[in-house]
Structure 1
Amino acid sequence: MKTNHDKLIRDKIPQILIQKNIQAAVRTLTDEEFVNYVKKKVVEEAKEVQQAESPKEILQECADLTEVLECLMNTHNLSWNDIAQARSEKNSIRGAFTKKLLLINTE
């Protein structure tokens, strides 16, 4: 039975599928397609972080999310230093999340 996935996969997945005798259709994305699929993957991985419960699951899902974020950063020639600087600037203006504040409503 054929299952459609239409999602970005890690580089070694095709070989793993072959080892498991699973037939798969895979193609290489264009640069523009890659950026779009990486953005979709960021959302997918963020949802998996949200669903994770144990510290080990959270660790694994954060590692996956970080991997995908790094791919997205690379497509835009951004570094972790760039991210740290933007984060610091945003924290100076809007604060961080250390106070655990929840906005209930506004009028």
Structure 2
Amino acid sequence: MKKYDKLVRDRIPEIIKADGKECVTKVVPIEERAELLERKLMEEVNEYLEDKNLEELADVMEVLFGLAKNLGYSEEELIEKRNEKLEARGGFKEGIVLLEVK
């Protein structure tokens, strides 16, 4: 049996079983999730940097939602905060690079 010891999406055990395989899992308490989510974020960001596609971006977003939930925030609150910052400071769509301030 291959060993992983990493956070996976909630339906992965079900998908593995539907494929006729067995898996061993555990559910970690909320206090232990932050570190696992942060590791997963790095994994997903690295996958995005390698493949640069929408699927990998969606994976990064899902981990961000998990991190928000772990901190006690909903997906809606995260999106609302993003929108507040977008309104107040803008986004990253224009490609503006700050070179210096005098």
TM-score range, shorter chain: 0.7 to 0.9
Task: Give RMSD over aligned pairs.
Answer: 2.5
Deviates more, 1:76-85 or 1:41-50: 76-85
For 1:75 and 1:39, how far apart are their aligned partners in 2? 11
Which residue in 1 is equivalent to 2:55? Answer: 60
TM norm structure 1: 0.72
1:26-55 Cα shifts (integer Å, max 9, x gaps) = 0111101112111111111101110114xx
Query: What code does the residue aligned with 1:29 have?
Result: V
Q: CA deviation at 1:97?
A: 7.4
Return closer, same or farther for 1:87/1:74 CA change in 2, 3 Å cut-off: farther
CA 1:21 to 1:102, structure 2 compared with 1: closer, same or farther past 3 Å? farther
Percent identity over the alignment is: 26
For residues 25 and 35 of structure 1, the distance between their equivalents in structure 2, rounded to whole angstroms, comes to 21
Partner of 2:22: 23
Corresponding residue of 2:12? 13
Q: 1:4 to 1:102 in 2, by over 3 A?
A: farther
Number of aligned residues: 95
The Cα shift of 1:102 comes to 9.3
**Cα distance between partner residues in 1 of 2:69 and 2:86:** 18
| Structure 2, unpaired ranges of 5+ | none
Match of 1:69 in 2: 64
| Structure-2 separation of matches of 1:101 and 1:86 | 18
Partners of 2:30 and 2:4 in 1: how far apart? 20
SS, match of residue 4 in structure 2 = coil
Distance apart, 1:12 and its partner CA: 1.1
